Amino acid sequence: MIPRTLFDADLEGFRDSVRKFLEQEAAPYHEQWEKDGQVSRELWRKAGELGFLCPMLPEEYGGVGADFRYSAVIMEEISRAGLSGIGWGLHSDIVAPYILNYGSEDQKQKYLPKMASGEMITAIAMTEPGAGSDLQGVKTTAIRQGDHYILNGSKTFITNGQLADLVIVVAKTDPKEGAKGTSLLLVETAWEGFEKGQNLNKVGMKAQDTSELFFQDVKVPADNLLGAMEGQGFFQLMQELPAERLQVALTAVAAAEAAWQWTLDYVKERKAFGKPVIAFQNTRFKLAELKAEITAARVFTDRCLELHLDKKLDIPTAAMLKQHTTDLQCKVMDECVQLHGGYGYMWEYPIARAWADSRVQRIYAGTNEIMKEIVARSF
């Protein structure tokens, strides 16, 4: 009803290409990937060949120099199709910007082209068993010894954790300090002492590999420190978190839009008491209410996308966006399951998967309670 003026004909053509790729190369296999607990590496390589990984990277690092709208299209199409196992957004639009924005030229040349091609899969390890949204409470340490850091500790709930070849690890290079003692390190998973724990059995996102990671005296070359000096990690994280929260919002609204459409199609066909479910006033009113709320969230999200493109999306606004859109996503999924009746609770129906997948959106990238605290501090 309200045109999305951010996306021109070229971007809509790109959207069609992404959608067709996902329909052919991902959707038919996603059920098996749910059983496997991860998607195939082949999908990553095929995506890399078509430029769907790290599109915003400059050409010298293997990208195509696209702006963030192209990444937004990819994230929206993955979310709209319910393909929650695909962890490209974290790889392309969270990990890659850290390396591009803070990495040395050697780090960029070594890692970014492999990330763009799909040869190397990445993750970022922030959360620990005792430290989630409170990043200052991180216990993992990286102590300098000569030309290496000795990394010890553990992480949990790490997206892409099983498939990852490279992980950005949040660690204390000065354990006596809080935020000022935090640094980011580029750690290759093949190095001695790096151990991947179990692939965690989650309520939703069954095809997304989410893992525990363990570090026991891992020798990390000092050159793999991200940034010019130690102690910059907390600042780097704070700078990049608004973009991460925008990504969560983009996927939340796309998922809500898809769920609404699935439900509309279902209630037109499903009959109760001799007539289609859409014929009942309650059904129409519920769908009308959700349509209005989803439309408002879409306009808010697109405005924040504009601000991000102009490098003006601030931390409180991104927090508001993340909290609002993910709360709405969960509301939409719940209402849409209800309108599906018993079938909405069956795993074979997309709405059941979407309902299960949506719940974590209010938890990761900073819990929604933390988002409210961030907004309140800006008053």
Percent helix, strand and coil across the chain, each rounded to 5?
A: 55, 15, 30
Whether 181 and 231 have beta carbons less than 8 Å apart is answered as yes
Closest by alpha carbon to 298, among 265, 318, 264, 321?
A: 321
Query: What's the rounded Cα separation, in Å, for the pair 149 and 223?
Result: 10
Closest by alpha carbon to 125, among 166, 174, 75?
A: 166
Buried b (16+ CB within 10 A) or exposed e, 164-185: bbbbbbbbbbbeeeeebbbbbb
Whether 33 and 39 have beta carbons less than 8 Å apart is answered as yes
Secondary structure of residue 205 in the 3-state scheme: coil
Query: What's the rounded Cα separation, in Å, for the pair 304 and 298?
Result: 10
49 counts as catalytic: no
DSSP string over 225-239: EESSSTT-HHHHHHH
Whether 305 and 249 have beta carbons less than 8 Å apart is answered as no
Angle at alpha carbon of residue 309, lines to 157 and 100, rounded to 5°: 55
Phi-psi region of 130 (alpha: psi -120 to 50; beta: other; left: phi over 0): alpha
Q: Which position among 192, 244, 289, 306 bears the catalytic label?
A: 244
Query: What's the rounded Cα separation, in Å, for the pair 6 and 305?
Result: 9
DSSP string over 309-333: HTT---HHHHHHHHHHHHHHHHHHH
- Token duo for residue 338: 């209800």
Secondary structure of residue 59 in the 3-state scheme: helix
Angle at alpha carbon of residue 226, lines to 224 and 230, rounded to 5°: 100
Q: Which positions are annotated as active-site residues?
A: 244
